[in-house]
A and B are shown apart, each in its own frame.
Chain A
Amino acid sequence: MAGSSSVNKKILILGLSNILWGFIPWPASNLFKNYSSLLIIFTRFMFMSFFLLLTVGVLLIFDRIKEKDKIKHIDLKKLFLYLKSRNSEFFKFPQWAYLLTVGIFGLNSMTILFFLALKTIGVITTSIGVLISLVIVTAINWGRGKEEMTKFKVLYLTTLIGATFILGYISQIYSESESSVSLGSIVLVIIYGIALSFFVITGSTDKMSLKEFKIIKENPRYQLIRTFFKLAMLSFFSALIYIPSLFLMSKFDFNEQINSEIGLFFTQLTDWWKIALSVDGIILIIVCTIIPYFIYYLMAANWPKHTSFNLWVGVMQLIEPLINIIIGITLLNEIFPISWLLIVIFLFGIAIFTRYLSETETQIFAIFLLKIKPQFQLAAMQKAFAIKPVKEVSHMIGDYDVFLDTQLHSSQALNKFIQQDILTLPGLIRYDFLIITNNILEKDQ
């Protein structure tokens, strides 16, 4: 394979982002000693949106310098048009309403539940939520026909479920706190897993409009700027609803812990900047949140086309709960017997290996050549670009009009892709496909 050392380096850098995400419980637990967990989340969202909007601003300036043609410039007007456009994959909501929904029910609820679980039941038990989410997301994608259930996938899920039970059972047995051995803690972790799954699934349910498709043709930088803008808006909307919703919640009587958290939030609200400027705050916001997001998206933008990014994201995401557990034991003094820890690490090793095998055993890279009626070519290319297995669309002159670079998981998926996606493209006259057997050379451009 071409440039394997460069790919290996990128895989390692991608892994680094998961390691940094895995460190979140450490600064968060230190901050819990002095501040309301709700205020910590609020500050994290505020700073995330601020830094991400700053990044968008820098990228817009960079684009102005690089792009000589004024018409092709990406400006704020184009980004606001994106917010107003409709997301046809998410109930045709305007993008701002889609981001608000995902922000409140996905990012926000997932983060609140994660921090609440960290504070009340500890890091090790909370890490189960990530495992639950991995199982839920795989099951839902399988149900939607987006993932194949191969023998390695079944083994992967079985290993994850096994690790979940061991972690849950052993961490509860050895827990120092009496209150943590309760049905409530299990329910909390399960709800956290569901909220995380909702965020993972809905976060990527986002189809570009025809206008955006035309903008990318003129200026490919739009994709990176749009991604950072989307993330900034998600954080901004999440922070925005905090004060009004907590104010509303403070009028009702919940359990003692929630009431005291809300009370503490309003008492400490004027001190939010102290969180951001503390060492733990900087580690939490910059090192464990902003830097990993930057690494992740920069790697996604520069990943070699014929080496699956999703494969390595899937494999690397198992590092995060593993780091959580190690942090819990080493830095936060949680008790977990070494013999059981070795078993859990062994199970994680199997899960990583089987995930890798399940993704690679049936991977197919294929090229599709399409002959399309002239008046339908733009519509066909836009539709093709929105299909998940399609990585690249090219408009050509020659025997064929459109070239599609695709990545599929199995021969069944290839057949389904042809029947459901290729044959339904508007104006299709004929098609041909070729399987890529080896990627000999792929230079960075």
Chain B
Amino acid sequence: MTIKIASFIKTEFGKSEFFSEELQKIPDITKILSISGEYEFLIEIIVEKTEDLMDIIEYIEKIPGIKEVHSHYVLSEWEKKF
């Protein structure tokens, strides 16, 4: 069973390129969006096990300059195709 998580990430200012490169290195991250407002990035993580998720979140939190990772568990989703 796949687990999908939407995480909002707050970072230090002025290093967005460095963070986006670091985040792109993580294979389980399927989407990275740069956003305006309280957070700098919105990422989507898809994993098979909860343990994998914990490892990814821990890895992200250890990237120097990451201030906060705020995650939401996605229960279900509807994507409009047409």
Contact = CB atoms under 8 A, between A and B. Distances in A.
A437 B81 contact: no
B36 interface: yes
Contact of B36 (A305, A306, A435): A435
Contacts of A393: 77-78
A220 B31 contact: no
Interface residues of B, number: 31
A398 B73 contact: yes
Given A217-B76, A396-B73, A397-B73, A300 B36 contact: no
Contacts of B53: none
B78 A381 contact: yes
Contact of A399 (B20, B31, B72): B72
Interface in A418-445: 432-443, 445
B78 A385 contact: yes
B74 A440 contact: no
Given A224-B81, A300-B82, A441 B75 contact: no
Given A391-B80, A399-B72, A442 B35 contact: no
Contact of A395 (B46, B70, B77, B82): B77
A385 B76 CA distance: 13
A403 interface: yes
Interface in B19-39: 20, 23-24, 29-39
Contacts of B79: 220, 305, 391-392
A377 to B, nearest CB: 10
A301 interface: yes
A216 interface: yes
B6 A441 contact: no
Given A440-B32, A441-B24, A394 B74 contact: yes
A412 interface: no
B47 interface: no
Interface string B39-54: 1011000100000000
A434 B10 CA distance: 13
State which size class the interface on A falls in: 35 or more
B71 interface: yes
Interface in B58-73: 70-73
Contacts of B82: 223, 227, 297, 300-301
A209 B76 CA distance: 18
Given A396-B73, A434-B39, A300 B81 contact: yes
B35 A436 contact: yes
A301 B81 contact: yes
A98 to B, nearest CB: 16
Interface string A286-306: 000000000001001100011
Nearest to A394: B77
Nearest to A297: B82
Contact of A434 (B37, B77, B80): B37
B76 A434 contact: no
Given A385-B78, A433-B37, 20 more contacts: A213-B78, A216-B78, A220-B78, A220-B79, A301-B82, A306-B33, A385-B80, A392-B80, A394-B6, A395-B75, A396-B75, A397-B72, A397-B73, A399-B70, A400-B72, A436-B42, A439-B33, A441-B24, A441-B30, A443-B31
13 contacts: A223-B80, A367-B33, A385-B80, A392-B77, A394-B6, A396-B74, A398-B72, A432-B37, A434-B36, A434-B38, A436-B33, A438-B34, A443-B31
> When A and B form their complex, which 9 residue pairs have the shortest distance between CB atoms, in order from nearest?
A398-B72, A438-B34, A441-B32, A440-B32, A394-B77, A434-B37, A396-B72, A395-B75, A435-B36
